[in-house]
Structure 1
Amino acid sequence: MLRVVVLGAAAGGGVPQWNCGCPVCRAARGDHPALRSTQASVAVSADGDHWFLINASPDLRQQLIATPQLHPKSGQLRHTPISGVVLTNGEVDAVAGLLSMREGSPFTIYAHAKVLAILKANSIFNVLGEQNVRREPIELDRPFEALLPDGSPSGIEILPFAVPGKGAWYLEGKIHPGGGGDKGDTLGLRIEDRATGKYLYFLAACAEVTDALKARLAGAPLVFFDGTVWRDDELVAAGLGTKTGQAMGHIAMSGHGGAIEKLSGLDIDRRIFLHINNSNPALLPNSAERLIAERAGWQIPADGTEIVL
């Protein structure tokens, strides 16, 4: 069985964001603590014992404490069920949590060469000594089986593919450590349990739903998809920022060309938004935006949600 746990569903900063007084953040601090969410990441497993993280958010330590499936085995002084981390981009939201995994347990970081180059260029990631933490480059459109720390197969096959997006914002206007070109900075993943053939798609960032992407996702049992903003100019209109969703490399949920419209009619069994920004009114359970999303078949998950395929 393919198991997946939503460790966090929020975009950068989480909900509530530390310095934000928007309606969602105020509600999350006040009478609606259920709105609180950590930054986006999921964990997947084929056997329930060995897990792979998809991205390592800045909230990772908090997420691990809250997730019994990822606790050390009872009776062992040092142990972790985590066998590896798969990075889909080099943003702070995806890589900062690696620094919470520096206590010497072996695991593998799987990432595109461009993202591995970012880690290599920043010496703080040297705390993850390569004698324990291997860094394994992955290639677009080439499936690989994630391995356990002893080198044995996990039963999890992952196919990385390019999706429209942008490189890490902190590298804008600078020379990318991994070189030029736009391939490799933003990945989608197809994750399959080799024993059962069950699979899911994970896209935490996506700037556009192309015809090729629609063909790929059609008929999928489960899709986690970028839900950063409800409308493209959301942050600007709310006075919370100066960038549109597109400028940040994220498609809007709503509107012409938005994710809800573009992914309708694709016979996806279960569709879940994640990487949802605190500005997004669809986070509010009784909002008109949430009702529109749910009527279109979309779910906004709580941290800790577990799904078994």
Structure 2
Amino acid sequence: MGIVSQEAIKQFQALMDRVDEPLKRSFQNVHQGYLVETFGRFLKARDSNVAKAHKMLVDCLNWRVQNDIDNILAKPIVPTELYRGVRDSQLIGLSGYSKEGLPVFAIGVGLSTFDKASFHYYVQSHIQINEYRDHVILPSASKKYGKPITTCIKVLDMTGLKLSALSQIKLLTTISTIDDLNYPEKTNTYYIVNAPYIFSTCWKVVKPLLQERTRKKVQVLSGCGRDELLEIMDYASLPHFCEREGSGSSQNSQNGADNCFSLDHHFHQQLYTHIRQQSLMKDSVQPIRHGSFHVDVPEAAAERTRIAKTIESEFNKFGNRNGLSESLDGLKINGD
């Protein structure tokens, strides 16, 4: 996590001791008993500036309270077929754990279409996976490995990445902003695999725009990245698109039980069962309204907006330079 001074931790804790309910209650849900690690994450996200880290955390807690995030795991996306559509078009799953016990999340960036549900369902699903990771997956890993495990690894598959990805810039920027402001420093390393030329072109331009802290987290691996990833995880934990060259991240590449993107995979089955059980418990106390979950999202930081515009510009240049028929004209940004 990097070095954070004990003095900064003490100052941060003194400030947080003054917050009132319901922020204090929400903060308990955030830190899950790992106070030092939580303070460290927010301090790292704000370059060890205690005042800025404190503001960031208080803003996060206000966001959680105002949007009822602490109860989002009791709000299933129903019916099941709608949720299956979300899973088939927002490719993410837990493939296993690293040798150090960090959860390995696989993300099919290139083949995620985000075209089976509304904007808000995808945001809701993303936050639910974040909350399930923080409240179930990480505590379970900490108990199993006998040490605090508060971060994860992400393997991003770029198979199938094309110009039409620009239609999802608003959604992806929203999700990224939510993560940056409310779940900072939860990812230890991002591994990029199966990167096509179009990604490599954009990465060369975007990389210098990123903060050094972020750049150090991103590793672009050759091909499917299997050999490099096997140095930090066992074969059983490899995402299916890393098992062999050209395997890709298609949700049809393996049967549902073996594909961590699929609703039939044990991770998603456990997640969905957990959400339904929490929903039944909440319903027994007070009936809750089902439906898409609207979350207020702060405007993206200037840096993030600049990066999004740079990506769009580079995609345009790539398309024009290669004479691709996949025109960017008329592409609609998802959302309301």
Normalising by structure 1, what TM-score?
0.35
Normalising by structure 2, what TM-score?
0.32
Q: Between the two structures, name the one with larger relative contact order (CA 8 Å, sep ≥ 6).
A: 2
Determine which structure has the larger strand proportion and give its number.
1
Query: Which structure would you say has the larger Rg?
Result: 2
